[in-house]
Amino acid sequence: MRADGIAPNGAAGLQVDAVTKAFGGVVALQPCSFTVPAGAMCALLGPSGCGKTTTLRIVAGFELPNSGRVLIGGEDKTYAPPQRRRLGMVFQSYALFPHMTVAQNVAFGLRMAGLPRAEIEERTRRMLDVIRLPQFADRHPAQLSGGQQQRVALARALVTEPSVLLLDEPLGALDKSLREQMQFEIRQLQQRLGITTLIVTHDQEEALTMSDLIVVMSKGRILQVGTPTEVYERPKSRFVSEFLGTSNILACRVRSQDSGGAVRVGVAGLTPEAAFTAWSRHPPGADAEVLVAIRPEHIHMAPSSGHEGITGFVDGQITGHVFRGATHVYQVAVPGLEVPFIVYQQVTGPMADVALPLGTPVALTWPEGAARVVDATAH
């Protein structure tokens, strides 16, 4: 694979081109297009019913699209049967054969392909080394932990050397700590093997942690495609901003336009009106009403003098607090706003710092670049 993520023949690893799908009168997918560079991992992210699993099934060949194309390594595989697409697939349930040993499960696809016995044994042994389970070759799935079963399912999918690996909610059955561990293990394995991978998930943290590219979907449409940093820090719509993490959404009015896509906005309902710079992909005109999103971790909160006017950007009062181990989460009520600000404060000391008590007057500020104008209608 070249440094730009394109295969030696000049083709992307996977391309979904204007694919649509309807089941009877129900439209499951409106025209959807995205490209996964060869060797990259792409996450299809969205709530239940958004179309991500339908998209995966079309890529796998389990469903045929009503229109559009699926290209794998530059070759049109839209109507090819699953067995002719050179895909590996891992399901949430793992789907291991309970009566077979670990080695037999991993070797299953190679046996079905009719490879020589010596080659099957060699490739199976090599793959068990890759997943660090050679000592469990003769055990059955029931004798393994959930994480070990997950690794066996991955080995079975990878041993056939597929062009694309498909992961359908692969970590949904694991507890939180094991899920986080497996996120790193799968990611490291995928990067080491350099295999183009498509993962379906509704877990935002999983998509951010594991993928090179995120495709955010809702109601059968693709709302945004980008790297984890792009989608998280520069969401196009309110839906993306709120689905991929937490955002403070402010109703604002544009006061002036600056250079480079920046606009000066005022927060509706505040007296005096707080004005600040927000960034927009398509700067709106003066006096336009817009929604602005600010991530809680970008807001700085400090005790203020209380009711002697605005001491920071906006004045407020702490009305709620929860402790999440690495983070203090505060609710800050601001006079004139119906919805309180959510503010994250990272824990920096071994004693988990000292939380500010409820009722404390505080001043909220945030740096330029933290505020983004988002589309209010896309969902």
pLDDT digits (tens, 9 = 90+) for 215-270: 999 999 999 999 999 999 999 999 999 999 899 999 999 988 877 778 888 888 78
Q: Which of 55-64, 95-104, 179-188, 321-330 has the highest mean pLDDT?
A: 55-64
Q: Quickly list DSSP for 39-67.
A: T-EEEEE-STTSSHHHHHHHHHTSS--SE
User: Mean pLDDT score of the chain, rounded to an integer?
Assistant: 87
Q: What pTM was computed for the model? A: 0.86
* 97 vs 103: CA distance, rounded Å: 11
| Tokens at 187, concatenated | 């990611």
CATH architecture of structural domain 14-237: 3-Layer(aba) Sandwich (3.40)
The predicted structure's pLDDT at residue 258: 75
Question: Mean per-residue pLDDT for 298-323?
Answer: 76
Contact residues for 255 (Cβ-Cβ < 8 A; gap 6+) = 263, 264, 265, 266, 275, 286
Q: Which of 68-82, 146-160, 184-198, 354-368 has the highest mean pLDDT?
A: 68-82
The predicted structure's pLDDT at residue 272: 67
| Tokens at 148, concatenated | 């070990």
For 240-374, CATH number? Answer: 2.40.50.140
At residue 236's C-alpha, the angle toward residues 232 and 238, to 5°, is: 85
- Whether the CB-CB separation of 146 and 174 falls below 8 Å is answered with yes
Would you list the domain boundaries of the chain?
14-237, 240-374
Largest CA distance in the chain: 83
Rounded alpha-carbon distances, angstroms, from residue 68 to 6, 29, 80: 22, 11, 14
The predicted structure's pLDDT at residue 1: 35
The predicted structure's pLDDT at residue 328: 92
pLDDT band for 311, please (50, 70, 90 cuts).
very low
Name the one residue in this structure whose structure tokens are 């890529």: 59
Structural Rg of the chain based on CA atoms: 25
The predicted structure's pLDDT at residue 173: 67
Higher pLDDT pick, 61 / 306: 61
At residue 22's C-alpha, the angle toward residues 57 and 223, to 5°, is: 75
- Whether the CB-CB separation of 100 and 136 falls below 8 Å is answered with no
The predicted structure's pLDDT at residue 286: 80
| Tokens at 62, concatenated | 């389990």
Higher pLDDT pick, 307 / 141: 141
Tens digits of residue pLDDT in 267-306: 887 866 778 889 988 878 888 899 999 999 999 998 875 4
| Tokens at 223, concatenated | 């709302």
* 94 vs 150: CA distance, rounded Å: 6
Question: Mean per-residue pLDDT for 28-39?
Answer: 96
pLDDT band for 350, please (50, 70, 90 cuts).
low
Range with lowest mean pLDDT among 57-61, 185-189, 308-312: 308-312
**Around Cβ 160, how many Cβ atoms within 10 Å?**
19
* 164 vs 76: CA distance, rounded Å: 14
The predicted structure's pLDDT at residue 6: 43
Helical spans, DSSP H, in the chain: 52-60, 102-112, 117-130, 146-158, 176-193, 204-210, 228-233, 238-243
Q: Which residues pair with 342 in a beta bridge?
A: 331
Tens digits of residue pLDDT in 126-167: 989 888 889 999 999 999 988 888 889 888 988 888 999 999
Q: In the chain, what are the helix, strand and coil shares in percent, each to the nearest 5? A: 25, 35, 40
Three-class SS state of 337? coil
pLDDT band for 379, please (50, 70, 90 cuts).
low
β-bridge pairing 361-365 and 196-201: unpaired
* 294 vs 49: CA distance, rounded Å: 28
pLDDT band for 312, please (50, 70, 90 cuts).
low
The predicted structure's pLDDT at residue 302: 87
Question: Mean per-residue pLDDT for 87-107?
Answer: 89
- Whether the CB-CB separation of 117 and 103 falls below 8 Å is answered with no
Q: In what order do the strands lie in the sheet with 361-365?
A: 300-303, 361-365, 314-323, 327-333, 341-346
Q: Quickly list DSSP for 196-253.
A: EEEEEES-HHHHHHH-SEEEEEETTEEEEEE-HHHHHHS-SBHHHHHHSS--EEEEEE
The predicted structure's pLDDT at residue 193: 86
Q: Which residues pair with 16 in a beta bridge?
A: 34, 70
- Whether the CB-CB separation of 45 and 61 falls below 8 Å is answered with no
